[in-house]
Amino acid sequence: MNKYLRIMLGTLAGAILGYGYYYFIGCSSGTCPITSNWHISTVYGAVVGLALSFPSKKKAEKNNDDETKNQ
């Protein structure tokens, strides 16, 4: 899968989950800074989805990097 597509889908999924959290669980009294406003909750979810969707180093690449440092 293309890494940019993965990042975009992760961000979109996070935004949907953030809005869903606001809609179903959110704070109706207005005292909760994140969940009382759907804009903030959606953006917060998108940022979390973005952070989780970034590709990480593969284990094999990490092991090769560790071996070259030890030599």
**Higher pLDDT, residue 30 or 7:** 7
Distance of alpha carbon 59 from alpha carbon 19, whole angstroms: 34
**Higher pLDDT, residue 22 or 64:** 22
Q: How far apart are the first and last CA of the chain?
A: 34
Q: What is the domain range of residue 11?
A: 3-70
Distance of alpha carbon 66 from alpha carbon 42, whole angstroms: 39
Each residue's pLDDT tens digit, 13-42:
999 999 999 999 988 787 888 888 899 999
From the CA atom positions of the chain, what is the Rg in Å?
18
Number of domains in the chain: 1
